[in-house]
Amino acid sequence: MEKLLDEGIMAIVPVYINMKGNVTKIITREKNEFQTNRSIKTFLRILASFYGVDLRVSRKYYGKLIGAKNIVPFYFDRDNILVPVKVRKPISKNDGAFGYINLKYIREVKEKKKTVNIILEGNISIKCLQSYRTVIKHIRDAKILKRVCSYNEPLVMEERANFYKEYNKPATKGDIAVLRNEILDIKNTLKSN
């Protein structure tokens, strides 16, 4: 796991391989591809335990922040926010349909005819089975999490200029929704105490 993290995980996608079946492919920043016989669900659980994150609690908490229940980005740290995208049609009930793309490495989203591709650093392309609009929404949700969670991390002096450049923008509807949810949570906490 340390080797994968050192190389920088760009994408984790479920694939079917002849004579192996359902496996998980991990693509790193170094353009290396690794395969594990574990399902994507199991691999994500192992990755989350490495970061000390409970995926179920994370999904519930961050889902509340962005107003989603099921398809929620996973926030491990500022540089590892995984965006869920549908990458295949599962054959079996327990096979995953969703892959996870690291927000940090997404360069652009391209739509050609009826296909949508996410282009990663190094010109690596991941084909998605969702509409362009849906993929953009998932990426936007991950960006909201990054902005919200960055407030909780200490700000280093060199980052201050970038901080003001990044956050000196008008609030979006997503930002306002996040603030509303946080205020309601604080209000409910104060009422219960």
How many domains is the chain built from?
2
pLDDT in tens, 155-185: 444 444 555 556 667 778 887 888 888 898 8
**Shared domain check, 139 and 96:** yes
Q: Based on the fold, state whether residues 135 and 61 are members of the same structural domain.
A: yes
State whether 52 and 28 are in the same domain.
yes
Q: For 133-161, what is each residue's pLDDT tens digit?
A: 999 999 999 998 898 887 665 444 444 45
Residues 6+ apart with CB under 8 A from 158: none
64 and 139 in a single domain? The answer is yes
pLDDT in tens, 56-89: 988 998 888 888 888 999 998 888 999 999 999 9
**In terms of domains, do 162 and 144 share one?**
no
Contact criterion met (CB below 8 Å) for 118 and 109:
yes
Decide if 148 contacts 178 (C-beta within 8 A).
yes
Shared domain for 60 and 103, answered yes or no, is yes
Q: Which two tokens stand for residue 178?
A: 């996040």
Residue 13's H or E segment, with its range, is strand 9-17
Are 6 and 48 found together in one domain?
yes
**Are residue 87 and residue 171 in the same domain, yes or no?**
no
pTM of the model: 0.75
Q: Which domain holds residue 162?
A: 157-193
State whether 31 and 19 are in the same domain. yes
**Confidence at residue 156, expressed as pLDDT on a 0 to 100 scale:** 43
